[in-house]
Amino acid sequence: MMIKTGVFGADFQETNLMNRLQETGKTLLCGIYDPDPDKTVKAANHFSVNAYTLAGELIDNADAICFASPGKKEYEIIKSAIRKSRHIFIENPVYLTDEELLALIKMSSEANVKVQAGFKERFHPALKSSVDFISNPMFIESHRLSEFGKKGSEISVVLESMINDIDIILGIVKSNIKKISASGISVISDQTDIANARIEFDNGCVANLTASRISLNKMQKIRFFQSNAYISVDLLNPEVKIASVKEVYEGNPGNPLFFDLGEKGKKEITINSPDIPVSDPLSGLLNYFFDNIHFESPNGNSAERSYTALNVAYQIMEKIKLTSN
């Protein structure tokens, strides 16, 4: 049965969300509500859907409600929708606290509905092309750098940016967190603009994360170091490079990546770049959401994982507060 989906909000992010919803082919976009009636009508006409003047009317006429970046006001609306047994999709939950997201997860379990709360970069094509090569990394390094912009500057760069890498790393490292250290500084805004965090896991893996929104150059890279391999994933300019170390009997002494270690043998490094399919991360997240409603797909992309990422982000921000005082 086709799921009827309504969208809360009619700004740019919600418009992009509606485009992706229509592209999935797994839902019927049935209506939109925005506190601004003019925006509601404009978006509804563009997408040929119903324009609702009350949030409650949209909830009553939909099976699922989608939010782009809900905050305090929308939180109450989400709770109302769950009470009416509506599935909830949240593209970006960073304006909710970890406690609020956990409360929504508990409510959805009691109501037997699905809540999907970010993060779309789990479905980034470069990351998806690399995961089969990543096995028990012991050191991870991420850099997420951007230029300063007013949008998002009302929250810490940890929530605005770093949380995406936190979520990715938590999905790869299958171990509990042992220790978190962090530092950061406000440069332009009154929130943290540059942050660095070190996450130590029980299995010995260490992740070093850096995020900045006052950089001259943009960068979104994650590097994974493991036994006999190094994997570099570029999320900004999609590319994956895999450097593998293998023992060889002969090798090529003229090869700059050939190493004669004497009694320890000879080793050679080979570099490969797997093909990266063209796909949209938000579409991947939406497809997972609708598939999970129909087929129950507990494959690690759940709202519980999003809660863990949000909780770690808040722990990092608390550490930054302590080091800043």
pLDDT in tens, 17-37: 999 999 999 999 999 999 999
Q: Can you give the pLDDT at residue 72?
A: 84
Of residues 284 and 270, more confidence is placed in: 284
Query: How large a percentage of the chain has pLDDT more than 70?
Result: 92
CATH class assigned to 122-281+310-324: alpha beta
Average pLDDT of the residues in 145-170: 89
The chain-wide mean pLDDT, for the chain, equals 91
Which pLDDT score, from 0 to 100, does residue 29 have? Answer: 94
Question: Is 250 strand, coil or helix?
Answer: coil
pTM surpassing 0.85? yes
Domain ranges of the chain: 3-117, 122-281+310-324
**What's the pLDDT tens digit per position in 85-133?**
999 999 989 999 999 999 999 999 999 999 999 899 999 999 999 999 9
DSSP-based three-state secondary structure for 228? coil
Task: Answer whether residue 253 shows pLDDT above 80.
Answer: no
Which DSSP string do the residues of 112-167 spell out, in sequence order? T--EEE--GGGG-HHHHHHGGG--S-SEEEEEEE----STTTTS-HIIIIIHHHHH
How many angstroms separate the most distant Cα atoms in the chain? 78
Using 50, 70 and 90 to split pLDDT, how confident is the model at 47?
very high
CATH topology of domain 3-117: Rossmann fold (3.40.50)
- DSSP assignment of 266-315 equals EEEEEEE--------HHHHHHHHHHHHHHH---SS-SHHHHHHHHHHHHH
Contact 284, 271 (CB under 8 A): no
Quick one: pLDDT at residue 1? 72
Look at residue 66 in the predicted model and tell me its pLDDT.
96
Residue 298 has pLDDT above 60, yes or no: no
